[in-house]
Structure 1
Amino acid sequence: MIKVFDKVFVKVYEAAILIFLLMICSNLLGQSHQQKTNRDYNFLPIEKKIQTWVDSSYYDGASILVSKKDKVVYDKYFGDYNRDTEVFIASAGKWLAAATIASVVEKTNLSWDDKVNKWLPEFKDSKGEATLRQLFSHTSGFPDYQPKDSVTDNYQTLEESVKHIVNLPADAKPGSVFHYGGLAMQVAGRMAELATGKDFESIFQENIAVPLGMKNTHFVPVDDSGGHSPMLGGGAKSTLHDYIHFLEMISHDGIYKGKSILSATSVAEMQSDQIKDAKVANHEYVERVRAEMHNGIYGLGEWREEIDKNGSAVLISSPSWAGAYPWIDKSTNTYGFFLTHVNVAKANKDGFSSFYNSPVLPIMVRDVYKKASLPLKVKTGFVELGNAQLYYEELGTGEPLIFIHGHSFDHSEWDPQFFEFAKKYRVIRYDCRGYGYSDMPKEGEPFLHAEDLLKVMDALKIKKAHLVGLSMGGFIATDFLALHQDRLLSATMASGDVFPVPGPSEPWTKEQLFVRRVEIEKMKEAGTMNQKWEWLNALMRKGGTNLENIRRPVWDMIYKWDQWQPLHAEPRLVLGNDVVPILKKQKVTVPVMILTGEIDKEHPNKLIECIPMAKQVIVSNAGHVSNLENPEAFNQLVFEFLKNYKK
């Protein structure tokens, strides 16, 4: 009996040991997998962006909070802002107001489809036929704002405010046109007051603010005088963490800390397309900040910045002219709030738009998560140049291959190439000085991009490398060929040619600098974002059948771009015209390929004249940005060239 017990005990003991070892192995494998796929979140690029705005005096201060799955992943304060700083958030209050109206629709007989004249019979023209949902989706046909010669919006009650709206002429028939403004929301607020018998601030506090613990958020008073009716479209005041409570509730379909604040149906209604067949003018907000055209750009009190193939909102927001910008990004399960208030005089002087600049932040947050998800085998870091740092990424083994991005782009331009070429080569992509994560240049501090590249190679202990550059990257590769041919295995210039600009041999004259300063001032007067939009349109003017599909990735790079170059008297950073005599004088012995998009193949190419032995190859069905337009053909041509370069 004892022997049997001993045998059973031994077997149980052995089984326990086996299970224990399996658990350890499983844990180690899990940790190993996690180590291969996860990095720390690095919000430094966002911090630098916001700090630049503050340093430029566009804002006295700012704060930002980003939460992923209700866990705060970034919480930062700038200038004179702190956790308790209260700020007038302008149009960021539209989202709060819409939620307040939704709470009234849930609890009373007010309906989103109620017409104005049901509650306010004094509206006898077409404005009376507008519905509550149209009042909150900018499709009511109401004028956007009070006429300039009218009384200011400093009424004591919404009832008084509405009396100054009733006789204003309608701009359009209800539901026919989308016009962004806020005046119609005053009427919606009055309808909610009539349905509840309470003033709007009380409704907001009882239904939204108090349940969410938003102790420092109010619609009245709108200023220090102590009175005034609530401006639903632009008069709220809040703090960073107050508003985050609201975003947490919306992201959970109306639930906050286990308590229902709004129904899931109400949240879905707010996020659904309310524009329908209304006409949307060209260059509206969504097209401007996301470079995409779709008609369903607005819900109830919130922009539908991005939608999926089914028309459901993916990125929603409520941006303000003053810079405050709340958003929810379902693609990354994040929500965030950038709290600030613009210094109008300084921003206007520099052509800076808070309304159009703040929406870059969720795109940069996506980059944070994209970088965090890179496999650990991708080496990332900075090369120290002495007076600047350049960001780089490295992957793979074999002969070194360096990708150089185009103007206004960054290292992410090479996403379709980086991992593919790393299967056979030691691939490096980096941000040139003045772009991406790298440091900015300084006026009067001369350097060459080609010399920066040499320092990158030295720092990474690369004796010789293949270069592949596009546009500006091609100019840099050409300069490197002219100056450091002995460090090359081959050179590929996509959309490559001689850049016909003055080189270092022609420094700026006083007259040229004066003209340049005038150009910069004109650009600021027109608004600096206009230069970005014009540059995007220039790049997208012609191409292959896939051209429109790259509009968004091209724009995202341009949008993040700091725009240093067009706003400064840029040093001579490339050889420009100086490269011609250098190339013609020397004998080029390394293989050179010039990749030209099919759309541009008829254009004369001066670089071929300088390098007669260069091989010009056409990338089919592509224009200027051929590596993104037709990555399959681009990759195949480069692979073939590199395979045969020694022959």
Structure 2
Amino acid sequence: MPTITTTDNIQLYYEEAGEGEPIIFVHEFGGDMRSWEPQMRYFSRRHRCIAFNARGYPPSDVPEDLELYSQRRAALDIVDVLDALQIPKAHVVGLSMGGFATVHLGLIAPERALSLVVAGAGYGAEKEHEEYFRNVSLEVAAQFEKQGSKEFSKTYAMAASRIAYLLKDPRGWAEFSEQLSQHSATGSAMTMRGVQARRPSLYDLEDELKAMSVPTLIVVGDEDDHCLQPGIFLKKTIPASGLAVLPKAGHTLNIEEPALFNQLVAEFLATVSQNRWLPRDPRAMPSEIMKTS
């Protein structure tokens, strides 16, 4: 079973396929590396693709010390995977929790990223909902421990932002829900408490994000309500960024709309590879409505 050892001695399980310019996929809280299967199959035709399970997600280690889980540690784990596989730089594609880790990688180790894809990242970022998000994250952690993953997954998989997936692809949603039910209850609870409930709001990182030069694609679904405004904020803040909003789409974008997601990411990667994904031209001033002189 292929694993890498992090700098704090945690074993992370990974899989890889293909050859070429590397892409590393970073999963969401409700998923795991299996969630990236449509992307692993598509992009491995032209890229070396790596997906790994975060700490807390078997067969990766499930540490029981809460201090071994944090937002910074999640970003450092990406660096550790790159180091272990001797990859100097990679395209990094993250969804939700993985999207936050991808943003933080761009802040703490921008030299390791060829580009960033930040999809469905926004929960807890809105300042007016920040305290609620932290409290509900702690409640989710408690329910994973109380009910176990098999039972609580039935509730968690029915979150508002996942209904669009259920309606358009019931079989895909059922597979997502079944995989969620197999997660470690301890790992899920620790991740909720250590990463989700304690991560900083994206809005608190405005100055750092303004200085980040890594080419970035932001992707949100228009029915993923609490990611829409944070997505617009990221677009306005990160200099070399673009925003794609998928219509009638919820949170689990890469498996809910795999063809559209893959097309957007492939076009982005091709543009980056040609050094044509540039910062916004200063002549395109956001304050200007029409030019009169």
- TM-score (normalizing by structure 2): 0.76
Work out which of the residue numbers 447, 467, 474 in structure 1 matches 2:99.
474
- Distance of aligned partners of 1:434 and 1:464 in 2 relative to their CA distance in 1, 3 Å threshold: same
CA distance in 2, matches of 1:461, 1:574: 32
CA distance in 2, matches of 1:596, 1:638: 13
CA distance in 2, matches of 1:524, 1:563: 6
- Give 2:78's aligned amino acid: L
The answer to whether the Cα contact below 8 Å between 2:62 and 2:187 also exists between their aligned partners in 1 is no
Work out which of the residue numbers 230, 242, 252 in structure 2 matches 1:625.
252
The answer to whether the Cα contact below 8 Å between 1:384 and 1:390 also exists between their aligned partners in 2 is yes
Work out which of the residue numbers 151, 156, 165 in structure 2 matches 1:535.
156
Q: How many residues align?
A: 256
SS where residue 467 of structure 1 aligns? strand
Structure 2: gaps of 5 or more residues = 128-134, 277-293
Per the alignment, residue 408 of structure 1 pairs with 30
CA distance in 2, matches of 1:544, 1:529: 18
Work out which of the residue numbers 546, 561, 564 in structure 1 matches 2:186.
564
The answer to whether the Cα contact below 8 Å between 1:523 and 1:531 also exists between their aligned partners in 2 is yes
- Distance of aligned partners of 1:520 and 1:573 in 2 relative to their CA distance in 1, 3 Å threshold: closer
SS where residue 88 of structure 2 aligns? coil
Asked if 1:397 corresponds to 2:19, the answer is: yes
- Distance of aligned partners of 1:418 and 1:574 in 2 relative to their CA distance in 1, 3 Å threshold: farther
CA distance in 2, matches of 1:608, 1:536: 29
Per the alignment, residue 641 of structure 1 pairs with 268
Q: Deviations over 1:271-328 (max 9, x none)?
A: xxxxxxxxxxxxxxxxxxxxxxxxxxxxxxxxxxxxxxxxxxxxxxxxxxxxxxxxxx
Query: How much does 1:521 deviate?
Result: 6.0
SS where residue 211 of structure 2 aligns? coil
Structure 1: gaps of 5 or more residues = 1-379, 503-511
Q: What is the identity percentage for the equivalent residue pairs of Structure 1 and Structure 2?
A: 29
- Give 2:5's aligned amino acid: E
Rg: which structure is higher?
A: 1
Per the alignment, residue 105 of structure 1 pairs with none
CA distance in 1, matches of 2:20, 2:44: 9
- Distance of aligned partners of 1:463 and 1:631 in 2 relative to their CA distance in 1, 3 Å threshold: same
Please give the residue correspondences for 1:373-522 in structure 2 after superposition, counting only pairs within 5 Å: 381-385=2-6, 386-447=8-69, 448-497=73-122, 499-500=124-125
CA distance in 2, matches of 1:391, 1:424: 23
CA distance in 2, matches of 1:521, 1:543: 26
- Distance of aligned partners of 1:529 and 1:419 in 2 relative to their CA distance in 1, 3 Å threshold: closer
The answer to whether the Cα contact below 8 Å between 1:465 and 1:488 also exists between their aligned partners in 2 is yes
- Distance of aligned partners of 1:520 and 1:411 in 2 relative to their CA distance in 1, 3 Å threshold: closer
The answer to whether the Cα contact below 8 Å between 2:125 and 2:202 also exists between their aligned partners in 1 is no
Please give the residue correspondences for 1:282-297 in structure 2 after superposition, counting only pairs within 5 Å: none
The answer to whether the Cα contact below 8 Å between 1:446 and 1:573 also exists between their aligned partners in 2 is no
- TM-score (normalizing by structure 1): 0.36
CA distance in 1, matches of 2:15, 2:145: 34
Greater RCO, 1 or 2 (C-alpha within 8 Å, sep 6+)? 2
CA distance in 1, matches of 2:56, 2:31: 10
* Structure with the larger helix share: 2
CA distance in 1, matches of 2:166, 2:88: 38
